[in-house]
Amino acid sequence: MDIGHGITLVDLALFYKKHLILGDLQLGSEGVAHNQGFFLPKFQLQDILERLSKIFTQVKAEFLIINGDLKHAIGTILDQEWTDILAFFDFALQHVQKIIIVRGNHDLVIDPIAAKRNIAVVESYRVGDMLIFHGHKVVKETAPLLVVGHEHPAVSFKDKPGDKYKCYLVGKWKKSILIVMPSFNPLTEGSDITRDRFLSPYLKPGIGTFDVYVVEDKIYPFGKVQDLR
């Protein structure tokens, strides 16, 4: 779906000037859960690669920007993360010329894995009018278009309170247009932003005027956040 400014929403990824942007994959979640005493079957990587290959058939991307939290374990690298992240890189590099990682709060030690495939890790990435950064803290730079992740936005509806749906949020941050991307991780839907509790400093109560785009089999514009309550 075209949302203006040269931006196309394609499933859980955003496409702008030959760049495909996605975030919050959190590869290694099953390994982290296992270490905490929970068993999760390992289907996350397979799900992600299948979803991504469909996206690659819909847009001609030359660059893949991972907007933070490619891995899940903070401060350590699990065996599963080495294997899954390298498999992810090798798959993606069959479709794009270059991968760039924008560091998220879970990516403190992503650098040794990225170095194996000569992939740069940056704090933010600028292309055209767009500045891409993870959004767990406020950055000094700005641009007409800001793209963040971290929040994993999802919405619920009054008639189906238990069900959450991943969504994009589009609104204003100072003089810029702010786009909050859904998480690409298949294990969780995300945090319900209709409850007014936010992870990112870029979201505050008062996001009622933000536009909601729900991601299901396609993208569904759902009006404003305030109309969902």
Question: Least distance (Å) from Mn ion to the CB of residue 101?
Answer: 13
- The residue number with the shortest CB distance to Mn ion is 150
Q: Tell me which DSSP letter residue 228 carries.
A: G
Q: Which is nearer to Mn ion, 105 or 191 (CB)?
A: 105
69 near Mn ion, rule: CB under 5 A: yes
Question: Least distance (Å) from Mn ion to the CB of residue 137?
Answer: 10
Per CB under 5 A, the segment of 37-45, 68-76, 89-97, 176-184 that binds Mn ion is: 68-76
Question: Least distance (Å) from Mn ion to the CB of residue 184?
Answer: 12
Query: What are 114's strand-pairing partners?
Result: none
Q: Which is nearer to Mn ion, 8 or 191 (CB)?
A: 191
The CA distance from 204 to 229, in Å, is 16
Per CB under 5 A, the segment of 14-22, 66-74, 169-177, 213-221 that binds Mn ion is: 66-74
Helix H or strand E encompassing 63: strand 63-67
Question: Do residues 94 and 52 touch, judged by C-beta distance below 8 A?
Answer: no
The CA distance from 136 to 19, in Å, is 22
The CA distance from 29 to 187, in Å, is 8
Q: Which is nearer to Mn ion, 56 or 68 (CB)?
A: 68
Question: Do residues 71 and 85 touch, judged by C-beta distance below 8 A?
Answer: yes
Residues that bind Mn ion (rule: CB under 5 A) add up to a total of 5
DSSP secondary structure string, 203-220? --TTGGG-EEEEESSSEE
Positions in 146-165 near Mn ion (CB under 5 A): 150
Tokens 């793209």 correspond to 147
Longest Cα separation, the chain: 49
The CA distance from 11 to 23, in Å, is 12
Question: Least distance (Å) from Mn ion to the CB of residue 182?
Answer: 13
Q: Which is nearer to Mn ion, 19 or 150 (CB)?
A: 150
Positions in 121-140 near Mn ion (CB under 5 A): 136
Question: Do residues 5 and 178 touch, judged by C-beta distance below 8 A?
Answer: no
Q: Which is nearer to Mn ion, 31 or 190 (CB)?
A: 190
Question: Least distance (Å) from Mn ion to the CB of residue 6?
Answer: 26
Binding mask 90-109 for Mn ion (x = CB under 5 A): --------------xx----
User: Given the rule CB under 5 A, which residues bind Mn ion?
Assistant: 69, 104-105, 136, 150
